[in-house]
Structure 1
Amino acid sequence: MSHALIADLGGTNARFAIVPLNEYQPQEIEVFACKEFDSFFAAATKYLEVCSLSIQEISAVVLAIAGPVNQQVIKFSNNPWTFTKEEVESFFGDGIRVALLNDFDAMGHSLEVLSTDDYIKIGAGNDIDETAPAWVIGPGTGLGVSCVVPQEKANIVLPGEGGHVDVPSCTAQEDYIMSFLRERHQRVSAERVLSGMGLENIYEALAKRNGLDSRLTAKAIGEAGKNNDALALEALEQFFVYLGRVVGDLVLSVESRGGVFIVGGIIPRYIELFRLSGFRHAMSEKGRMSDFVGKIPTFVVTAEYPGLMGCANYASYLANESS
């Protein structure tokens, strides 16, 4: 049986796995800290040393990359690794098909193979219309976004860098946060408030507003929130509200009756707080278009490795194209 080597290469971690072609559950998963390797090739060599397959048993390689892939030299948004597709092809050798996807293209391709056990519905909204477009958005090391357009065969996943759009400001508190961050960054993108770094920024701004000089890590903020620390809970709530505002803007851009799927490493950790938050209200708080937006269903993806599942799905396209 032919296999694919798949990898989800982020700003913090590189996740490697193998999968039989036309199957979608990744096997032999290894998670490496990117900072421990000088290059992708060093990490890939390490994985090949520990996985059960020889390179001769691999017929396709699909890499999901945290950054744009439509360029000659691949550069990551939050990782110093660089390489070209030709270098990857040379590394793995002749006869192995290679595809490079943006990490949120891979997330988009996972929607076809996720089961209903792999996500949780949040708030109101009609059932999924599987023939309609869907959005995937995920705060993590950065903020990724992709739009999925269903097709009879392989879905179209529209590329983009939606995490770098302008962030909305709709309340006095949000005005203060924007002013605080503008002094540091001039332009404040959505990623500045919707990422691990973004949660830290929100907490620091709210602390300053309360006369405190304090910045915690995202992990520490989450732990403090679980212990009912008022400032940490306020920061998390604002984080969820910002996500709602950005999701609502996406829905206004493309009527995504296929749903909005929230991925990434942050929201699933705080799912109960998220359920009770102002996320859905902020999402649908769009004036005359509130009813339009409020009908769109939203979900949190709880599958542990949706990016790898999307890579596995794309590997099956490669296999079927060449057969």
Structure 2
Amino acid sequence: MSQTTQNSFNGHDLAFEPIIVADIGGTNARFAVVTKYDLDSNQFTIDHQFTFPSAEFQSFESALSAFLDKLTISKPSRACFAVAGPIKGQQVFLTNLGWNFNSQDVQTQFGFEQLAVINDFAAFAYAAPYLKKEDNIQIKAGQAAPGANIAVMGPGTGFGSACHVSDIHSSAVLSCEAGHISLAAVTELDKQLLQVLKESIGHVSVETVFSGPGLARLYKAMAQVKGLPSEDLNAAQISARAGECEVCDATLNQFCDWIGSVAGDLALTFGALGGVFIGGGILPRMTERLISSRFVERFTEKGIMSQYAGQIPVTLVVQDNIPLIGAAACLHSRNQFS
């Protein structure tokens, strides 16, 4: 059955051509139709949502066909898909699924007049101006400058980041490889941990500490710095033992503190006076610890730029329809400024 994930709006609806949107990940393929955009509330209406286990399909095209077969409305002529994988020109790679497709071929096969395929963190950046404060969690207070750059970032399987840039004439999203920049030390403990990490992995990037097996690496390094024994624990085990294990507790605190510095660095890099939105698969499960950590202090401690960083609000995004909103926003912004 179709599902409406946001309420319809009583305010002013712009003339809006429906958009097929998708969130394609390693576990699920979510499809929906965005049927309206309301100017007063700055919100999209998402209808006809279906979720399919990705493993049930041999290709992206077969999953899309299954969704179209379930639609009870005329097929929209516009589509935008957010995918958890690299995009090179028109070639799209979903490595965890073994799916590869060419966006131009898909556009021709399914008869779309307009089609875009974007990375999932690009979708996060496109969605940022349309997020509702009450649906998410404020980590750091501040005053977002209207129309200013917005940065998005988040640790998960990898570390993603992007920036939404806009002016009165146009808007765009800048993708980047921020996960592979060198992780910087601020405190003495940071320096000691970096030294230990370098001995085992050489180049210590943001991603190697804050994504995938990064928490386990940080735990091992923390135990060595403290001169305490360690076990072979994964991220879930470290989190579960934090109340009874000194090293686990210190590891989670350090994770939240240190990522505050990283978020502040990216805010300065992107000039994100419109705010910073953080998400990904890890931080929403650590909300209380993140709020009670030194994240805000580490975010703001930027020397002569501390006042600049201090005015930037930081929001932890916990709503789950970000890729769908971002996919709609991608085409909406392109047409709005065309």
Give yes or no for TM over 0.5: yes
The total of aligned residue pairs comes to 316
Q: What is the Cα deviation at residue 274 of structure 1?
A: 0.9
Does the residue aligned with 2:280 lie in a helix, a strand or coil? coil
Q: What is the Cα deviation at residue 311 of structure 1?
A: 0.9
Q: Structure 1 residues 300, 316: closer, same or farther in 2, change over 3 A?
A: same
Q: Which segment is superposed worse, 312-321 or 205-214?
A: 312-321
**Contact persistence 1:133–1:258 (CA under 8 A):** yes
Q: What is the Cα deviation at residue 29 of structure 1?
A: 3.8
Does the residue aligned with 1:111 lie in a helix, a strand or coil? helix
Q: Structure 1 residues 138, 25: closer, same or farther in 2, change over 3 A?
A: farther
Unaligned ranges ≥5, structure 2: 1-15, 38-42
Q: 2: CA distance between counterparts of 1:137 and 1:99?
A: 22
Q: Structure 1 residues 32, 164: closer, same or farther in 2, change over 3 A?
A: farther
Map of 1:18 onto structure 2: 33
Q: 2: CA distance between counterparts of 1:116 and 1:172?
A: 36
Q: What is the Cα deviation at residue 182 of structure 1?
A: 3.5
**Contact persistence 1:193–1:242 (CA under 8 A):** no
**Contact persistence 1:97–1:318 (CA under 8 A):** no
Give the counterpart letter for 1:215 in structure 2. L
Q: What is the Cα deviation at residue 70 of structure 1?
A: 4.4
* Aligned counterpart in structure 2 of residue 238 of structure 1, from 236, 242, 254: 254
Map of 1:69 onto structure 2: 87
Map of 1:9 onto structure 2: 24
Map of 2:64 onto structure 1: 44
Counterparts of residues 297-308 of structure 1 (less than 5 Å): 297-308=313-324
Q: 2: CA distance between counterparts of 1:176 and 1:9?
A: 40
Q: What is the Cα deviation at residue 174 of structure 1?
A: 3.0
Map of 1:220 onto structure 2: 237
Q: Structure 1 residues 60, 221: closer, same or farther in 2, change over 3 A?
A: farther
Q: 2: CA distance between counterparts of 1:80 and 1:242?
A: 35
Unaligned ranges ≥5, structure 1: none
Map of 2:137 onto structure 1: 120
Q: What is the Cα deviation at residue 233 of structure 1?
A: 2.7
Q: 2: CA distance between counterparts of 1:221 and 1:154?
A: 45
Q: What is the Cα deviation at residue 277 of structure 1?
A: 0.7
Q: 1: CA distance between counterparts of 2:224 and 2:314?
A: 33
Q: 2: CA distance between counterparts of 1:90 and 1:67?
A: 22
Q: 2: CA distance between counterparts of 1:160 and 1:205?
A: 28
2:179 is aligned with 1:163: yes
Q: 1: CA distance between counterparts of 2:206 and 2:54?
A: 24
Q: What is the Cα deviation at residue 15 of structure 1?
A: 3.1
Map of 1:104 onto structure 2: 121
Counterparts of residues 281-292 of structure 1 (less than 5 Å): 281-292=297-308
Q: What is the Cα deviation at residue 318 of structure 1?
A: 6.1
TM-score norm. by structure 2 comes to 0.80
Give the counterpart letter for 1:113 in structure 2. Y
Q: Which segment is superposed worse, 35-44 or 242-251?
A: 35-44
Q: 1: CA distance between counterparts of 2:84 and 2:98?
A: 11
1:27-51, Cα deviation, whole Å (9 max, x unpaired): 34444555565443344344445x4
**Contact persistence 1:72–1:84 (CA under 8 A):** yes
Q: What is the Cα deviation at residue 154 of structure 1?
A: 5.2
* Aligned counterpart in structure 1 of residue 47 of structure 2, from 23, 27, 30: 27
Q: 1: CA distance between counterparts of 2:26 and 2:250?
A: 27
Q: What is the Cα deviation at residue 61 of structure 1?
A: 1.6
1:274-323, Cα deviation, whole Å (9 max, x unpaired): 1111111111222333233222221112322112111122243466689x
Counterparts of residues 149-228 of structure 1 (less than 5 Å): 149-152=165-168, 155-209=171-225, 210-216=228-234, 218-225=235-242, 227=243
Higher relative contact order, structure no. (Cα contacts within 8 Å, ≥ 6 residues apart): 1
Give the counterpart letter for 1:133 in structure 2. N
1:207-242, Cα deviation, whole Å (9 max, x unpaired): 4552223221x33333334x5544333222222123
Q: What is the Cα deviation at residue 65 of structure 1?
A: 2.4
Identity rate, percent = 33
Q: Structure 1 residues 180, 82: closer, same or farther in 2, change over 3 A?
A: farther
**Contact persistence 1:163–1:190 (CA under 8 A):** yes
**Contact persistence 1:21–1:316 (CA under 8 A):** no
Map of 2:292 onto structure 1: 276
Map of 1:60 onto structure 2: 78
Q: Structure 1 residues 84, 208: closer, same or farther in 2, change over 3 A?
A: farther
Q: 2: CA distance between counterparts of 1:252 and 1:65?
A: 27
Q: Structure 1 residues 270, 29: closer, same or farther in 2, change over 3 A?
A: farther
Does the residue aligned with 1:18 lie in a helix, a strand or coil? strand
Q: Structure 1 residues 223, 196: closer, same or farther in 2, change over 3 A?
A: farther
**Contact persistence 2:256–2:289 (CA under 8 A):** no
